[in-house]
Amino acid sequence: MAVRPVLRNLLKVVGDLSKRDINTNVVDTEVVQHSGGLSSAEVYDYLNELESLGLIKMVKPTSDEKGKDVETLRLLNITEKGLAELLSDL
């Protein structure tokens, strides 16, 4: 699969942060911090695109504090398909 360079770079960030383990969660804000200067809006658009390609999965954790104005962070996991894509670049 030919993945655009910007998507491959973010996939690599998710892979690096998770130590290429499909069971390790990565917080979305960490990916934004390591995105190389992309805006958070751009990063979230690209993460959604990576998810639609099946290269990552995103989970929105439930908050125990119902009714309060609490920002909820998304957790990301690289998928087997995402790992294969990273390895195809080596």
Longest dimension (CA), the chain: 47
Q: Which pLDDT does position 67 carry in this prediction?
A: 53
Fold of 5-59+72-88: Arc Repressor Mutant, subunit A (1.10.10)
pLDDT score of 12 more than 90: yes
Give the residue extent of every domain in the chain: 5-59+72-88
Q: Is the dihedral of CA 78, 79, 85, 87 positive or negative?
A: positive
Entry pTM: 0.85
Q: What is the pLDDT of residue 73?
A: 82
For the stretch 15-67, pLDDT in tens is 999 999 999 999 999 999 999 999 999 999 999 999 999 999 998 765 555 55
pLDDT, one tens digit per residue, over 55-86 is 999 987 655 555 555 567 889 999 999 999 99
Give the type of residue at 90. L
